[in-house]
Amino acid sequence: MITARYHREIPQRYRLEAGKCLACGHLSFPPRLVCPECKAKKFETVTLSDEGTLVTFTVVRVASDKFSKETPFPVGIVELNGGVRVTAQIADANIDELKIGQKLRIVFRRIQDDGKAGILCYGYKAIMA
């Protein structure tokens, strides 16, 4: 991954920074230039909750080449407290125990890498709360 492309997502991937619409309060993650709810264009930066609930999940058993050594790995949609939903891997979990409605917590983890000479890419994963 080109360093600039990785670098500009760091506030979201490392710190869960979202854009809160100053007009209607809607949270956009990642931040946007136009509020999808009320179309206003002014935001303040807020940090999302690191606690949430599992909305749905799967276990990826056939991955792209980049993730092929990681399989099988669970991925879910997590609704963070406050309402924002994110797609995240569920780490350190017993696959058979995963349940919709499960309480989860967001943690900082290594997500992927660019091979031997490339940068290591970090971000959020979810773990059982």
Binding stretches for another protein (CB under 8 A): 9, 12-13, 30, 36, 55-67, 70, 73, 75-77, 85-89, 100, 111-112, 121, 123, 125
Smallest separation (angstroms) from another protein to the CB of 41:
19
- Of the pair 35, 75, the CB lying nearest another protein is at 75
CA distance 89 to 74: 6
How many angstroms separate the first and last alpha carbons of the chain? Answer: 31
Smallest separation (angstroms) from another protein to the CB of 19:
14
Sign, CA torsion 65/67/72/78: negative
- Of the pair 8, 41, the CB lying nearest another protein is at 8
CA distance 18 to 12: 7
